[in-house]
Amino acid sequence: MTRFALTLEFDGTPFMGLQRQAHGPSVQQAVEEAITRITGENVVMFAAGRTDAGVHALHMRAHVDVEKDIAPFRLMEAMNYHLRPDPIAVTHACVVADDWHARFSCLGRSYIYRIANRRAPLTLEANRAWQVHQPLDAEAMHRAAQALIGLHDFTTFRSVHCQAASPVKTLDSLNVRREGEWVIIDTAARSYLHHQVRSMVGCLALVGMGRWRVEQMAEALAARDRGALGLNAPSSGLYFDRAVYPEEE
């Protein structure tokens, strides 16, 4: 049995999320079925994180155990062939130790959120960004974001369906910058609550629009109440960026 670590890139638009779902297609299902067609084996894919319906990934790490004797490059090439036409690509594959785990060995995860701040409709970027027509003050958004850095109870920014044992998380970074008509938010932490990133981004957008004061981010956090949430950003602008492992620090 060989354990392969995979790096996946995918457009989440047609999927119900990364994990297998009873009510629709998932990235996990597509990957596992591709490997079954290659090896004849029923495999289970484990990933560094979960993504909701419509969320994308740039470098999602995952692993699978395969009995067939196959080189990593050949597995990657075969998977990319069998994954078509699904918008999923395996960009890297390698053999790892039997105790390496895509989820449990992971030390940190980073996400990127993209806001298209313009009036004209999105064409090439449709379903791959959140379009906000009203001008956004990215500098004010960044100042507000700093109130969330560190160890906090993030109940306000937690989905009511979140299954985490505790709402307490440590946010390592949350940065906002403007690149032309784009407002980019990037964040890093060991782990996140369900909908945490989208909830933080939605409230930051309210600050950028001038509907919230900069100080209201800290007030919403301190409320520890989902009712204090101003806005939950849509899934289309969210990208799982990277997972960090001990050997990669």
CA–CA separation, 63 and 60 (whole Å) = 10
Q: Which of 52, 65, 137, 186 is catalytic?
A: 52
What is the residue whose two structure tokens read 């008509």? 181
CA–CA separation, 97 and 59 (whole Å) = 20
Given the candidates 3.30.70.660, 3.40.710.10, 3.40.50.2300, 3.20.20.70, the CATH classification of the domain at 108-248 is 3.30.70.660
* pLDDT for the residue 75: 97
What is the residue whose two structure tokens read 């990215």? 138
168, two tokens: 């307490």
* pLDDT for the residue 248: 67
- Say whether pLDDT at 249 is over 70: no
Q: Which helix (H) or strand (E) holds 141?
A: helix 138-145
In terms of Cβ atoms closer than 10 Å to its own Cβ (0-12, 13-18, 19+), residue 238 is buried
pLDDT digits (tens, 9 = 90+) for 164-210: 889 999 999 999 999 999 999 999 999 999 999 999 999 999 999 99
* pLDDT for the residue 237: 98
Look at the domain 2-96 and name its fold: Alpha-Beta Plaits (3.30.70)
**Regarding beta strands 2-10 and 56-66, do their DSSP bridges make them parallel or antiparallel, or are they unpaired?**
antiparallel
52 is catalytic: yes
What average pLDDT does this structure show over 65-73?
96
- Say whether pLDDT at 157 is over 60: yes
> Are 2-96 and 108-248 in the same CATH fold?
yes
The residue ranges of every structural domain in the chain are 2-96, 108-248
CA–CA separation, 245 and 186 (whole Å) = 19
pLDDT digits (tens, 9 = 90+) for 13-68: 999 999 998 889 999 999 999 999 999 999 999 999 989 999 999 999 999 999 99
Strand ranges for the chain from DSSP E? 2-10, 46-47, 56-66, 88-96, 108-116, 130-131, 150-153, 168-179, 182-189, 238-244
Looking at residue 140, the DSSP 8-state letter turns out to be: H
Confidence (pTM): 0.95
The pLDDT mean for the chain works out to: 96
Of the candidates 134, 154, 157, the residue with the CA atom closest to the CA atom of residue 208: 134
* pLDDT for the residue 122: 96
